Structure 1
């Protein structure tokens, strides 16, 4: 059985898929995807997101504000309130993105620090997005004791050096369909070097559909294609990859009850 450790079910363009949300969940289950973590990108959208997946026992949720979706200042009191809810299993998506919004560095950094502090307070793991911000991401993680709450660098596309630094802080590394892309040879080399016991798989759907689904709207059922690609690179069976990454998922997101 597989898990999709990072997806955005509330952002699926269901008309493009020609499916309802229950059908998307059913297709994932039919493709042996046991559990999905629906990740919040905006506090303003949290309630709607949570409500949209509340009826699915095999979908968990996070709460946070993506660096590209945040307002000038994150409402820290509201973030703490929502992240304290029992059904919220992680804090984020948070982090730094200097590729798309370098002009917002200071606001992003302040928001990231707030998320780390809230995660430490509620004792739930962080879900971190980082792009073109390697040194600042690691510096803020270290200076604000992110190792106390742990978490994951999701949709990882950075260097092996950054991965090792995150691993040293007790973090996991999650790999998306990007590694199946033709121009992702460097990422595949990184994946080959990552320890299995710190590896997660994800779709980041509806974005970044893996080969052979490139150009289509991504969905959790496609996480198996990510698993296939990782297993090939690491020279292990897909069954072994599924077993280990699923165990890693439940170890990290310990507030989640296992589903069949």
Structure 2
């Protein structure tokens, strides 16, 4: 049966061990649900290799990124940055630098190191003309400050898993070329995101699952996967008072504009 519409999952970790046993079925379900493309942000070197292998196994459907996640930042971050620079200096299959950013949720003791690593990867994005997949948790103020320092450079990307306030959305949307990544949280009963999004243009949103995490209602408690995106689309359809196919169409266009290497 033909899907009702086509969509892009801009952020999923289906290269992980949670999917090793049934990845072909996961891909099949995604395509049947309407997934047109899936983007794979790694968290470090090992998962970058896994994401790249998956992109090669499912060409023109899965697309890999390269980057160092804030929770993986250590004293050797510069060496990893040099390796990323070397890879991006040659013809490569990566569509973006990510998942990168700041995460002070569990521990702020390495906040300075995280900020140095993020700045390094911002410089790489500018140097190589690559979009960014940005992770921010309990670090909004610091993120806005760092991004403001490079506002003179044209960058594109996604502020992944946005769940913030209307004021935080406004502060992030000042960065032209950046989208807010909207996932399962928008479907949660106590989520304030539906109200916040009433003041955010649909032209600034992309869809994501963050699978295997953050499953949308009614799949809470189950392993998340790209085939669950239609639940997010349905909620956005309700918020924006537009047909589901239109939500899928506009967010797909947004994703393709943000990640120009995707064909």
TM class by smaller structure: over 0.9
Q: Do the aligned residues in 2 keep the contact of 1:120 with 1:146 (CA within 8 Å)? A: no
Cα 1:12/1:175, change in 2 over 3 Å: farther
Q: Which segment drifts farther, 161-170 or 210-219? A: 161-170
Does the 8 Å contact 1:66/1:92 carry over to 2?
yes
Alpha carbons 2:54, 2:62 under 8 Å: kept: no
Match of 1:195 in 2: 201
One of 103, 128, 133 as aligned partner of 1:127: 133
**Alpha-carbon separation, structure 2, partners of 1:166 and 1:180:** 22
> Quick check: 1:12–1:205 contact (8 Å CA) kept in 2?
no
2:72 pairs, out of 58, 65, 69, with 69
RMSD of aligned Cα (Å): 1.6
Give the corresponding residue for 2:39: 37
Tell which deviates more after alignment, 23-32 or 4-13. 4-13
Alignment of 1:214-229 (within 5 A): 214-229=220-235
Q: Contact 1:82 / 1:88 at 8 angstroms: preserved in 2?
A: no
Cα distance change on mapping 1:83 and 1:154 into 2, 3 Å: farther
Correspondences of 1:98-109 after superposition (within 5 Å): 98-109=104-115
1:251 aligned partner: 257
- Which of residues 121, 142, 157 is equivalent to 1:151? 157
1:53 aligns to what?
55
Tell me the TM-score normalised to structure 2 length.
0.91
Distance apart, 1:12 and its partner CA: 5.0
**Offset of 1:54 from its aligned partner?**
1.2
Task: Report matched runs for 1:224-243 at 5 Å.
Answer: 224-243=230-249
Structure 1 stretches of at least 4 aligned residues deviating more than 4 Å after TM superposition: none
**Deviation digits for residues 233-253 of structure 1 (CA, Å, limit 9, x no counterpart):** 121111110010000010100
Q: Tell me the distance in 2 between the aligned counterparts of 1:60 and 1:200.
A: 16
Match of 1:140 in 2: 146
Deviates more, 1:161-170 or 1:124-133: 161-170
Residue of structure 2 aligned with 1:2, choices 4, 7, 16: 7
Aligned residue for 2:3?
none
Counterpart of 2:36 in 1: which secondary structure?
strand
TM-score (norm 1): 0.92
The aligned runs of 1:179-190 (5 Å cut-off) are: 179-184=186-191, 186-190=192-196
CA distance in 1, matches of 2:130, 2:244: 29
Deviation, 1:10, is 1.2
